[in-house]
Each structure stands twice: as C-alpha cells, then as structure tokens.
C-alpha cells in the first residue's frame, strides 16, 4: 500500500524520539497553526503533508501548494493520557499502563473526572536522568484528542 498524506502525517508525529512543536503558515488562508509531537527528522516534510488546522487546506507538493514553516520549538509541558473507558491519567511513557492505543490525550493537567496514575507519580518522584521520559506537548495550545 502506498503511503498517502495521512500515513506520512502519522509517521511524522509518532515515535518515541524527542518531540517538537511546529508552527506552519497556511498557503491559502495565511493563518498560523501548530502541529505537535513531531520528531525532528520530520519537521521539514510537514508543510507538504499536513492539512491546515484553520481552513482545512490540503497541501500538494506536485502543485507547489505548501504550508510555510514559521518556527519550531522543543519547549514543552507534560502530556496526559487515559483510555476512554477509565479515568486514570498517565504522564510517564515508561508506566506499565501507558496507553499506546485507543486513548484520550490532554496537553494540560486534567481538571475533569479522574485521578493521576500512582505508578506515574512514583516514577516521577524517583526520576533520574536517562531512566525515564516524561511525555511532553506544547505549552501554547490546550487540546483534547482521541486516538485509536
């Protein structure tokens, strides 16, 4: 199966490497929009694969309709994940219950029903460089996303 734009986008924002927040400017509406959780090697390709979050314009490399890279940063805050059927929020990727599929993700500390995972809290308290990674997301945007 050929890799289409959605597959390229998924590839760009997945993985366990350091993540970046990318600011793109739409070729059509000229508004800036953010793409978060991008590995560094994929930053350049986003302007040709990600639809505009403001107007929905889809880029086309063959027609030279590309979003412009405005900025990117690795300044981040913690990401919280839970499964839809439970309300235990995880924030450490090494947690034994870290949701990798079919999860809800917040870019800010949850204020809705639920509680923080005790294992994540313990791991945070026992933090030592190189032994765990707190999963991060951009500080500029508060979003709720559901992944399957």
> Residues 102-137: pLDDT tens digits?
898 887 778 777 889 999 888 777 754 344 444 444
Q: What mean pLDDT, rounded, does the chain reach? A: 76
pLDDT at site 6: 46
138 in Cβ contact with 116 (< 8 Å)? no
Distance, in Å, from the CA atom of 50 to the CA atom of 35, rounded to the nearest integer, reads 8
- At 91 the pLDDT is 85
Give residue 17's pLDDT.
Answer: 66
| Band of residue 64 on the pLDDT scale cut at 50, 70, 90 | very high
Per-residue confidence band for 87, with pLDDT thresholds at 50, 70 and 90: confident
Pick from 11, 10, 34, 145: nearest CA to 79:
145
pLDDT at 90 over 60: yes
- Does residue 92 have a pLDDT over 50? yes
Say what the pTM is.
0.48
């Amino acid at each position: 199966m050929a890799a289409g734009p959605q597959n390229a986008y998924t590839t760009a924002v997945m993985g366990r490497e350091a993540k970046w927040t990318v600011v793109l400017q739409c070729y059509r509406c000229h508004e800036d929009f953010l793409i978060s959780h991008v590995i560094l090697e994929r930053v350049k390709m986003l302007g040709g694969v990600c639809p505009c979050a403001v107007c929905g314009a889809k880029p086309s490399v063959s027609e030279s309709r590309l979003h412009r890279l405005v900025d990117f940063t690795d300044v981040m805050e913690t990401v919280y994940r839970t499964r839809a059927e439970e309300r235990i929020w995880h924030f450490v990727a090494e947690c034994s219950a870290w949701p990798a599929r079919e999860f809800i993700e917040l870019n800010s500390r949850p204020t809705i029903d639920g509680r923080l995972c005790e294992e994540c809290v313990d791991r945070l308290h026992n933090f030592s460089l190189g032994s765990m990674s707190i999963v991060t997301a951009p500080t500029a945007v508060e979003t709720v996303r559901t992944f399957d």
